[in-house]
Amino acid sequence: MKFYLVDAFNDAVFKGNPAAVYVLPAWPSEALMQKIALEHHLSETAFTVKNGDHYELRWFTPEQEIDLCGHASLATAYVLFNYYETSATKLSFQTQKGPLYATRQGEQYYLDFPSIMPKPIANDPAFAAAMGATPTAAYLARDLFLVYEDAATVRQLQPDLAKVKALTQGIGVIVTAPDTEFDFVSRAFYPKLQVDEDPVTGSAHSNLIPYWAQRLDKKHLNAQQASARVGLLDCEWQGDRVTMGGQAVLFATGESTL
């Protein structure tokens, strides 16, 4: 079983978010895919199988399967465009969240994802205790979504990951703030999935893009995920859909002995 290790949402290796990608002729068992993801121990491992005119796509963290992942989708699109569908400019994926699409524009790859506006919730003091700084507002979708006043606070956060893991709301925690160089910055933490901090989180931008598009009254946004590896995203809000674009680079290929 051949796999690709791709760094997504940046143009240099050791930056962006690494994902493992398997392009397979048929689906292995769910138990085997989970073991493979644990063996790679990246934030996500993507598995894809071609079915007619589209690809079925699934994502696994070291802990469990998840229903939406952006950076591993971008990594999968990079692999398919460059090694399997070299003449294509658009790819269709079928996922647990329904159809997703990827397009290629030169060295830039764009994902078409659902727009998921998080819902406002009470700003529980437990959020400040877990993150080490008090958010100005709290929201919830799949993940807890915390808004801060300035980007410096987001960049400097040193959350207590045990307390983050103990939070009852959300699978992970997205933190975000406005910025002067970018329209917004963010970080994302998933200790419940054995991912302390995710370097670049495409699925989080399904929440981030509609939130900031409405708050800033603009549809086209540029974003930075301010992890140590840094992710750069070109974003657009399109009502019930969002697009997020970025570059990707191949780090390595390998062959499992299964």
- For residues 236 and 219, give the distance between their C-alpha atoms in angstroms, rounded to a whole number: 5
Under DSSP, the state recorded for 43 is S
- For residues 186 and 49, give the distance between their C-alpha atoms in angstroms, rounded to a whole number: 32
Report the candidate in 220, 227, 226 with the shortest Cα–Cα distance to residue 245.
220
- For residues 115 and 68, give the distance between their C-alpha atoms in angstroms, rounded to a whole number: 12
Name the catalytic one among 30, 39, 44, 85.
44
Structure-block tokens of residue 121: 């919730």
Q: Indicate the helix (H) or strand (E) that contains 210.
A: helix 202-216
Say whether 44 is catalytic: yes
Q: Indicate the helix (H) or strand (E) that contains 145.
A: strand 144-147
Q: Where in the sequence numbering do the catalytic residues fall?
A: 44
